Structure 1
Amino acid sequence: MKKVLIVGAHGATAQIVTARLLAETDDQLVLYLRQSRRLAQYADNARVTLVDGDVSDIEKLTAAMAGVDVVYSNIGGVDLGTQTKHLLTAMQQAHQTRLIFMSALGAHHEVPGKFGDWNEQAIHDFLPGFREAAQLLATSKLDYTEVRPAWLTNTDEIDYETTTLADGFKGTEVSRASVADFMIKVIADPSLYRRESIGLDKPGTDGDQPSWL
């Protein structure tokens, strides 16, 4: 049994991870989010602690980390760099070292060709935050796993491949269910992918844009 802190727990992928961990493991979960009432379905679950808080509240975030075995961050936004600084400060203060961090394709300028060019334009406003966060992780002393999924779909399937930065990025899309599956594997075995940045995509989805565009 592990104790897992999920920061940004209302995110779509985080909710899939939460549901599967509760159904498939005996892990204890700390769900940290703004407006915890949005996950009120877990209020009476003895394995869940709901924490109503913002990442900028370092004192509250540090307290939420007490006794956890792994932190999974599902935070995002144009200010991701600033949020990541708060997260890493809290982890240092709480003496936590294992972090699984949701990032995005392009965080390392690793997406090739026309799709890479399109992606740069499509998430132009968000890429500086992803790239700042990537630098903060790389220069930290944490045992982090940075996860860079392709464009996310709600398809009910688990079908994905992994790539390293040395491999370059493959594919254009991947399901949230697939990303959640990867997160769960790393939570189950935190020795996997330590201090690595991993790309996720559905095999065979190479192209200039995701298929629905």
Structure 2
Amino acid sequence: MKKVLILGAYGATAQIVIERLLNETDDQLVLYLRNSSRLSRYANNDRITIIDGDVQDVAVLKAAMQKDIDIVYSNVGGINLDRSAKPILDAMQQTGQKRLIFYSALGALHEVPGAFGRWNEETIQAALPGLRKSDRLIKAATAINTTQLRPAWLTNYDEVDYEITAADEPFKGTEVSRKSVADVIIKIINDPTLYQNDSIGINKPNTDGDKPAWL
């Protein structure tokens, strides 16, 4: 049994992860989010602790990390992702936390080739500086064993179908389901030796193109 701290627990992928952990493991979960009433359905679940907090509030974040946490999973998003990455990494270092799963996105490593890469750069240009600064912060935090996730454009399709690309490989495909990304997260939580100190791309096979097919 592990104790998992989920930051940004109201996120769509995070909610899939929560349900799978409850159904498939005996793990204890600490759910950290703003406006915690949004997850009030878990209020009476004896495997869940809910904390109302913003990751910018390092004092509250540190208190959450001092609850015998085994692994931290950040599902925090936003255009300026680095502004969340820094307090998360700082709080982990100050509390001795060592294992982090960090949800980022494609393009964080300048790794998306071709016409799709150019389209992606133009489409999410406002978010890319934050993704890339987050990557630099993660690499500098050498005391923390981080797996950075770089999923393709996300869908809500009811499927688990994906492949992984390494940090030094060109990104493949254009899309991937949230259920697929959640499956990767579940596997890492179950076996934290997977993808240690790594940044992995996640995409659905055979979805190459100039942009996601549904756009």
Normalised to the residue count of structure 2, the TM-score between the two structures is 0.98
Q: 2-side partners of 1:81 and 1:149: how far apart?
A: 17
Candidates 193, 206, 209, aligned match of 2:208: 206
Partner residue in 1 for 2:43: 43
Partner residue in 1 for 2:15: 15
Runs ≥4 residues deviating over 6 A: none
Alpha-carbon shift at residue 81 of structure 1 (Å) = 0.8
2:119 aligned with 1:146, yes or no? no
Residue aligned with 2:209, SS: coil
Alpha-carbon shift at residue 167 of structure 1 (Å) = 1.8
Q: 2-side partners of 1:48 and 1:23: how far apart?
A: 13
Instruction: Structure 2: state its 5+ residue gaps.
Output: none
Partner residue in 2 for 1:170: 172
Q: How many residues are treated as equivalent by the alignment?
A: 213
Q: 1-side partners of 2:145 and 2:136: how far apart?
A: 14
Residues 125-136 of structure 1 mapped to structure 2, 5 A cutoff:
125-136=126-137
1:27-80: per-residue Cα shift (whole Å, max 9, x none)? Answer: 000000000000011000000000000001101101101210000001111221
Residue aligned with 1:99, SS: strand
2:163 partner letter? E
Partner residue in 2 for 1:89: 90
Alpha-carbon shift at residue 166 of structure 1 (Å) = 1.7
Partner residue in 2 for 1:74: 75
Is residue 111–residue 169 contact of structure 2 (8 Å, CA) maintained in 1?
Answer: no
Taking every aligned residue pair, what percent have the same amino acid on both sides?
62
Residue aligned with 2:9, SS: coil
Residue aligned with 1:72, SS: strand
Instruction: Structure 1: state its 5+ residue gaps.
Output: none
2:64 partner letter? A
Alpha-carbon shift at residue 139 of structure 1 (Å) = 1.3
1:68 partner letter? I
